[in-house]
Amino acid sequence: MTILDGKSYASTIRTKIKDRINTLQTKPGLAILLVGDDPASHIYVNLKQKACEEVGIHFEKCEYTADVSESELIKKITELNNRDDIHGILVQLPLPTQNANHVIAAIDPRKDVDGFHPKNLEALRANKPALAPAVVLGILKLIDKAVQGRERSGLHATIISSDFFAEPLQILLREQQISSDIVRPSDPLFIQKTTEADILIVALGKPNLIHADMIKHGAILIDVGTTKVDGKLVGDIDRASVESRAGALTPVPGGVGPMTVAMLLLNTLNAYGKQKRTS
């Protein structure tokens, strides 16, 4: 079984981004809105800040208490939309009680480096250029590594996640001639569908949901789940169980997470380039 070392792949991508930024006269800027005191959210934002500092992206963290109003968040986003030195804006999810859709919709789509603005999703559906979700781009890079030049046409992916997460992933998989479907654990044919998948992508946050008897021999397994169990980070796939059967697997931690951060940096650099060309 091949371990898809997202940490190593992401390091290579970050080096290329840093080299590119070193040639620029001004620096890309990223602002993150962090609401509440969820420990995981704070860890993720700190990782993003560290990555930005490493490659030379200007970083701003806007922190708020859990009871902040949506209108105050939107006011801040409007201010950031109008700043020439901020090229990417991200709202760290989940929000405690605020409506994430309302808040994200306030972001200028050109600065939506997380890729979940309705206008960017609409552009993706229409096969138009758009900022795609960083996590989806990270997953596609990992699949690229696993496929390694094999014929993609005929490969089928099964996605175990919400529709919101799966939709942009399905669109970009389709562009690569990989068919896909979304399945829920409540589906009576759940195990049949998972065992037929050439590529299995799991993003539910249910520790060790997937076992060896639920996967196809040689399948590519992309584990997006991260849950703390007894102080240890655990994915949605039971690694020990699937190791002798899977063809490739993303570890947790060290798989999808680092690739998502790397793609966020790349989205910020690309957003900077586009805004500079159109300003």
Known binding-site positions for NADP(+): 226
* Length of the chain as a residue count: 279
Please indicate whether residue 114 is annotated as part of the active site.
yes
Catalytic choice (92, 112, 141, 198): 92
Q: Kindly report the CA angle at 217 between 215 and 221, in degrees rounded to 5?
A: 55
31 CB-near residues (< 8 Å, 6+ apart): 59, 60, 61, 62, 80, 86, 88, 89, 90
* Cα 20 from Cα 270, distance rounded (Å): 11
- Contact yes or no for 111/88 (Cβ under 8 A): yes
* Cα 94 from Cα 117, distance rounded (Å): 15
Q: What are the tokens at 110?
A: 């050109």
- The binding site consists of 226
Cα of first residue to Cα of last residue in the chain, in angstroms, is 48
Please indicate whether residue 275 is annotated as part of the active site.
no
Half-sphere exposure of 267 (CA within 13 A, CB side): 31
Please indicate whether residue 170 is annotated as part of the active site.
no
Give the long-range contacts of residues 147-154, CB within 8 A, separation 24 or more.
Answer: 147/220, 152/176, 152/177, 152/178, 153/177
Catalytic choice (112, 114, 198, 223): 114
Catalytic residues: 48, 92, 114
